[in-house]
Amino acid sequence: MPWITLDLDGTLADWPFRHCVGPLLRPYFQRHPDAWALRHREFVGRMASAEPVRAFDWDDIHAVICRELGLEPFPSVRELVEAAQYDPALLFPDVAPAVGLWRERGWKIAVATNGYALYQGVILERLGFAYDLMLAPDRCGYVKPQPEFWRGLDGEETVHAGDILSQDVWGANAAGIKAAWVWRTMPEEWAVIPAAERARRPELGAILERELKLELESHGKPANAPAHLPRPDWVVADLLELAQAMS
Fold for the domain defined by 3-14+88-245: Rossmann fold (3.40.50)
Burial 104-116 (b: 16+ CB within 10 A, else e): eeebbbbbbbbbb
Neighbours of 78 (CB within 10 A): 14
pLDDT of the residue at 154: 84
Taking residues 204-220, report their average pLDDT. Answer: 96
Q: Does this model's pTM top 0.85?
A: yes
pLDDT in tens, 3-36: 999 999 999 999 999 999 999 999 999 999 999 9
Least reliable range by pLDDT among 127-131, 152-156, 201-205, 212-216: 152-156
- Say whether pLDDT at 44 is over 90: yes
Q: What is the mean pLDDT of the chain?
A: 97
For residues 161 and 232, give the distance between their C-alpha atoms in angstroms, rounded to a whole number: 9
What is the band of 224 on the pLDDT scale with cuts at 50, 70, 90?
confident
- Say whether pLDDT at 155 is over 80: no
Please provide the size of the chain in residues. 247
pLDDT of the residue at 247: 83
Neighbours of 201 (CB within 10 A): 12
pLDDT in tens, 92-112: 999 999 999 999 999 999 999
Angstrom distances, CA of residue 237 to CA of 110, 139, 194, 243:
20, 30, 11, 11
